[in-house]
Amino acid sequence: MKRILVPIDFSIQAERAIEAAAQIANYIDAHIYLLHMVDLPANETDMDDHGDASGPAKMLFLRKIHEKFEEMMNSKILDGLTVHEEIRFHKTFSGIIDYSKELKIDLIVMGSQGATGIKEMFIGSNTEKVVRHSDVPVLVVKKGMKKTGLTKFVFASNFSDEIKPAFGRFLEFASLFGANVHLLFVNTIHNFESTKKTSKRLREFVKEFDMPEYTLNIFNDTTIEQGILNFSKDLDADLIALNTHQRSGLSSMFNESISEDLVNHALKPVITFKI
């Protein structure tokens, strides 16, 4: 993992994403690519074939954006890192996906201002669209990441056969940090399984992988999301990992109502791996 893409809009959420990307880049010696996307009106034609600005007004706009980039590049959190900047005139989420493929990006890091829970970090936003369509992992941060290292990763799933490729990619990511892995199945009244049945599936699941230090966990809660958040809080996890489908994003995991008790819940960083 050598190339980290951070889409930015110069907001506080973007700053937290840059901080998270810098922390990871320092740890694994990766380059950071800062990308600012500018949505154009549908009838805008003053662009070249690569989605770059080509008129006088846009040149002035670019100058202003580059000034903001300069302020950001002078931040101490980027000291010692190789950082690239890029401005593209394109629809935001599709431009991010195109650029990530063009540069063969390994990880996308995005900020979120979602106020309630994991679902609200994604649904109805450009972040959710990127998560759904990205072929590479997407890390979403709201409050930032721990400064003391990343050692406890939670992977929450139903552990069906179809998620095995995504889980393999997650293990590769976790190995970069030497993290302990905590597999989590959340049991709810609407999604109930006996402990015996779930335990057997989890044990069979891990047999196919060269596992790091790990634990198998079955957690009972009122909703899947609340179970993930409560387990991760009890564990004091550094990061939550989920698998997602392109066709449905995260909606298949959150098919139950979300409790009002999650309002303003302090969220952990969440990374997604597409099935």
Going from N- to C-terminal start, the domains of the chain cover 1-111, 145-275
Torsion of CA 80, 85, 91, 93, to 10 degrees: -20
- Runs of H (alpha helix) within the chain: 12-28, 56-73, 92-102, 126-133, 164-175, 195-206, 224-235
End-to-end CA distance of the chain: 19
Cβ proximity of 234 and 248 under 8 Å: no
The yes-or-no answer to whether 1-111 and 145-275 have a common fold is yes
Nearest to 105 by CA among 201, 5, 207, 38: 5
3-state secondary structure of 27: helix
CATH topology of domain 1-111: Rossmann fold (3.40.50)
> How much is the pTM?
0.83
Q: Strands 31-38 and 3-7, how do they pair?
A: parallel
- 145-275: CATH architecture: 3-Layer(aba) Sandwich (3.40)
Per-residue pLDDT of the chain (275 residues; tens, 9 = 90+): 899 999 988 888 889 999 999 999 998 999 999 998 876 554 444 545 555 555 676 677 778 888 888 888 888 889 999 999 888 877 777 889 999 999 999 999 998 765 545 554 444 467 778 887 889 999 988 877 777 678 999 999 989 999 999 999 999 999 999 999 999 999 998 878 899 999 999 999 999 999 999 999 999 998 888 898 899 999 999 999 988 775 544 444 443 332 222 223 447 888 989 88
